[in-house]
Structure 1
Amino acid sequence: MRRIAIVGAGQAGLQLGLGLLGAGYDVTLVAERRPDEVRGGRVTSTQLMFGPTLAIERAAGLAFWDGTAPVMPGFELSNWDPEGEPDAPVRRFTAAFDDEVRSVDQRVKLAAWLELFEERGGRVEYRAVGPAEVAALAAAHELTVLATGRGDLSALFGRDDARSVFDRPQRSLACFYVHGGAHEDADPAAAYVRNTGVPPTGDVIMLRALTVSGPCDILLFEGRWGGAYDCWSDRPAPADGLRRALGLLRTYAPWEYERFREAELTDPGAALYGAVTPVVRHPVARLDGDLCVLGMADVIAVHDPITGQGSNNAARAASHYLAAVVERGGRPFDEGWMRETFAAYWETARHTHAFTDVMLRDPQPEHVRRAVGAAFDHAGTAHRFANGYADPLTYRDWLMDPAGADAYLARLDT
């Protein structure tokens, strides 16, 4: 039985570990926190999963929340400049998703998957590790996969300058999990994924989710540096942060404030602040000379959450790496195989990374602004844009390519 170690118990690490167990491998998983500590801790993300990656979980037998996690049936994008012309209208479009979209608090999902991993005979070592400990794991296992970039571990993998656009965070981030949002039947968009952009302030994104205390809403503020949403450097206590967030909604998205004016935090750990530097790293780290470690998911490709792609990338990476390991049979997991495995995954992941990068650019490229702008006047474009989030490869020939965007827009005008 081949021995494999995985460092990190997030979406990617646990999904891969459970898949390897099911395929008959001896798997050791290194996790920093036990299931009860995960479940009772602070929120870690604004995870949003689309139809194709939900299907991956379902095929793996890991979709335990189909009956309880709210389904978001559509997408709404609003643009408004309250500091522009007097009585400036809100521009808005909505579009239905072709497939289900859900969000399950990682505290719920990862705690349950950790327990399942142990129930199925997986070995879990609950401890923090640094580079020396990772090297020891690599020496004792045929393959070691690093699935967490916390602390010094991400520094093991050098930055890939050819694939990395930014060298610093592009947004100031804050998110809040809340109960008490309005979801009346007369307001169907209240169940949608909604993004309100307010230049030069930033964006606020609303989504439905399942958390430790049941269905909830998530408010994610993506603040442009120096704008009104860039106001979290003092890391306020969660309740104070929510009051500040509601005040921002009252000014910059008053229709959303009316939905959330009675909102309360779901639990004491329901707030998260930070900033993310989008980056792509090289996939293989060398430790102690000849020991190689394979990086996975956001260890190698880090995204800002503005496009909701993080968990989807993790699920795709775990699925791809699992298939590559099984296909390898008894042959060694050498450095060449590691690089080939990542390169094949990157052929899909690069489209997600490019889409997220372009959504962060300020200003956005002219062809992107014109293509997205067409969605406000053309229902077919709105539908195409909204459903591209599920597979950003579909943006390649029209949204991401200047000539393709020109050709697409020309067809709309005929």
Structure 2
Amino acid sequence: MRKILVIGAGQSGLQLALGLQSKGYEVTLMSNRTADEIRAGRVMSTQCMFHTALQHERDLQINFWESQAPRIEGLGVSVAAPGSHEAPEGSQRAIDWVGRLDGYAQSVDQRVKMAGWMETFAQRGGQLVIHGAAVSDLDFFAGRYDLTLVSAGKGELVSMFGRNPARSPYDAPQRALAVSYVHGVGPRPEHPEFEAVRCNLVPGVGELFVMPTLTTSGRADILFWEGIPGGPLDAFQGVTDPQEHLDLTLDLMKTFLPWEYARATKAELTDANGTLAGRYAPTVRNPIGRLPSGGLVLGVADVVVANDPITGQGSNSAAKCAASYLSAIVERGERPFDEEWMQSAFDRYWNTAQHVTKWTNAMLGPPPEHVLNLIGAAGQLQPAADRFANGFDDPSDFENFFYEPEKTNAYLASLTS
């Protein structure tokens, strides 16, 4: 029986550990926190998982919360009218539409999911080690395993994986991030009959995403600001009081997005750990880490491909990476997990991930005219709205109608001819 060590208990690490366990591998999972500590701790992310990523969980029969989490059937886009925030009483949306998803999406607070998955892994006989791993620990452990996978996306371990400058156009954070998990958001008047993630764009300022989720206390909503650094939304650094964080979130909504604020006047934090703020530079890294002793480890998910969350792809990419690596490991059989295999396993994942990185990096910059035309036309052309929405599940489709003006114009023309 082959022995595999997984470092990190997030979406990718736990999904991989559970998948390998189900295939008969002897798996050790190393986490810096217990399940109880995760469940009672601070929110770790925003997450909205679309159909393909959810199907990977179903395939492993670890979709434990599917019947409880809200079914997200649409993805909506609103764009604030120019100058609207200067006269809030006249604030309006220049663009407002919602696309319908072919398969529903869902969001489960990672505190709920990761704690539950970790307990399941242990109950099924997995070796769970609660220990914050350093490079020196890996040097000690790696020789005892056939393969070591690093899925802990923060801290010292990431430094083993060098930045790939050719695939990393940004060397500084492109957004300041601020998250609040809340109860008390009212129903959405535009489409009360179904749930949707809403993307609100304030040109030159940033974005607000509103998504239904399942958290430790039941149904909730995530309010997620992405502010252009140095702008009015870049206001959360140094804010440590959770209520102050929420008050600032709501004040900014009232100023820039009054239609969203109108639903959130009675919003209350789900818990004292329901806020998060920070920033990071989107980075693609080399997938193989070399230990001081010469041993090799393979980076997983956002250890090696960390995109800005503006396109909501983090947990989706983590699930897709875990599924891709699981297949590559099983197909390897008894042959060694050498450097050539590690590179090929990553290249196989990159075939999918490259589309996420290209799209995400494009969305971080000012949209070109043809993209503005596409987003605007989607308000009158439902097939365009639906196709844009479903691109969140399969970002490779944006190659066909998003990046090049000629393809965008041809696509829009095909809908009106």
- Scaled by the length of structure 1, the TM-score of the pair is 0.96
Verify the 8 A CA contact 1:82 1:252 in the aligned structure 2: no
Alignment counterpart, residue 136 of structure 1, candidates 140, 143, 150 = 140
Counterpart for residue 58 of structure 1: 58
Deviation per residue, 1:141-190 (Å, 9 max, x gap): 11000001211111100011111111111001100000011127885278
CA positional deviation for 1:409: 3.2
Letter aligned with residue 382 of structure 2 = A
Structural mapping, 1:60-79, within 5 Å: 60-79=60-79
Verify the 8 A CA contact 2:72 2:194 in the aligned structure 1: no
Alignment counterpart, residue 181 of structure 2, candidates 169, 177, 180 = 177
CA positional deviation for 1:108: 0.1
Structural mapping, 1:66-145, within 5 Å: 66-81=66-81, 83=83, 87=90, 89-90=92-93, 91-145=95-149
CA positional deviation for 1:289: 4.5
CA positional deviation for 1:205: 0.5
Letter aligned with residue 316 of structure 1 = K
Letter aligned with residue 384 of structure 1 = R
| Cα distance in 2, alignment partners of residues 397 and 270 from structure 1 | 39
CA positional deviation for 1:88: 6.4
Structural mapping, 1:323-334, within 5 Å: 323-334=327-338
| Cα distance in 2, alignment partners of residues 323 and 236 from structure 1 | 43
Structure 1 residues 45 and 175: CA distance shift in structure 2, 3 A: same
RMSD, aligned CA: 1.7
| Cα distance in 2, alignment partners of residues 74 and 52 from structure 1 | 15
Letter aligned with residue 244 of structure 1 = L
| Cα distance in 1, alignment partners of residues 229 and 189 from structure 2 | 37
| Cα distance in 1, alignment partners of residues 388 and 337 from structure 2 | 40
Structure 1 residues 295 and 184: CA distance shift in structure 2, 3 A: closer
1:252 maps onto 2:256 in alignment: yes
| Cα distance in 2, alignment partners of residues 289 and 310 from structure 1 | 32
| Greater Cα offset, 200-209 or 393-402 | 393-402
CA positional deviation for 1:403: 3.2
Structure 1 residues 269 and 190: CA distance shift in structure 2, 3 A: farther
Alignment counterpart, residue 299 of structure 2, candidates 275, 295, 300 = 295
1:216 maps onto 2:206 in alignment: no
CA positional deviation for 1:129: 1.2
| Greater Cα offset, 302-311 or 182-191 | 182-191
Structure 1 residues 187 and 366: CA distance shift in structure 2, 3 A: closer
Counterpart for residue 374 of structure 2: 371
Verify the 8 A CA contact 1:276 1:303 in the aligned structure 2: no
Deviation per residue, 1:216-275 (Å, 9 max, x gap): 000000111222211111223111110111111111111111111001000110000001
CA positional deviation for 1:391: 0.7
1:261 maps onto 2:269 in alignment: no
Verify the 8 A CA contact 2:210 2:224 in the aligned structure 1: yes
| Cα distance in 2, alignment partners of residues 224 and 348 from structure 1 | 27
| Cα distance in 2, alignment partners of residues 258 and 357 from structure 1 | 31
1:21 maps onto 2:28 in alignment: no
1:240 maps onto 2:228 in alignment: no
| Cα distance in 1, alignment partners of residues 214 and 262 from structure 2 | 22
Verify the 8 A CA contact 1:20 1:27 in the aligned structure 2: yes
| Cα distance in 2, alignment partners of residues 297 and 190 from structure 1 | 31
| Cα distance in 2, alignment partners of residues 89 and 219 from structure 1 | 20
Give the unaligned 5+ runs of structure 2.
Answer: none
| Cα distance in 2, alignment partners of residues 364 and 198 from structure 1 | 12
| Cα distance in 2, alignment partners of residues 336 and 368 from structure 1 | 40
SS of the residue corresponding to residue 229 of structure 2 reads coil
CA positional deviation for 1:140: 1.4
1:346 maps onto 2:350 in alignment: yes
Structure 1 residues 189 and 234: CA distance shift in structure 2, 3 A: farther
| Cα distance in 2, alignment partners of residues 356 and 257 from structure 1 | 26
SS of the residue corresponding to residue 178 of structure 1 reads strand
Counterpart for residue 392 of structure 1: 395
Deviation per residue, 1:30-75 (Å, 9 max, x gap): 1000000000000000011001111110110100011110111211
Give the unaligned 5+ runs of structure 1.
Answer: none
CA positional deviation for 1:401: 3.2
CA positional deviation for 1:352: 1.0
CA positional deviation for 1:411: 3.0
Letter aligned with residue 372 of structure 1 = I
| Greater Cα offset, 30-39 or 234-243 | 234-243
| Cα distance in 2, alignment partners of residues 187 and 27 from structure 1 | 46
Letter aligned with residue 285 of structure 1 = G
| Cα distance in 1, alignment partners of residues 202 and 410 from structure 2 | 29
| Greater Cα offset, 197-206 or 81-90 | 81-90
Structure 1 residues 99 and 264: CA distance shift in structure 2, 3 A: same
Counterpart for residue 282 of structure 1: 286
Structure 1 residues 132 and 322: CA distance shift in structure 2, 3 A: same
| Greater Cα offset, 179-188 or 351-360 | 179-188
Deviation per residue, 1:117-138 (Å, 9 max, x gap): 0001110110111111122221
CA positional deviation for 1:368: 2.6
Letter aligned with residue 78 of structure 2 = S
1:46 maps onto 2:50 in alignment: no
| Cα distance in 2, alignment partners of residues 110 and 406 from structure 1 | 44
Structure 1 residues 256 and 198: CA distance shift in structure 2, 3 A: same
Structural mapping, 1:296-311, within 5 Å: 296-311=300-315
Letter aligned with residue 63 of structure 2 = A
Verify the 8 A CA contact 1:147 1:299 in the aligned structure 2: yes
Verify the 8 A CA contact 2:72 2:196 in the aligned structure 1: yes
- In the alignment of these two chains, the number of paired residues is 413
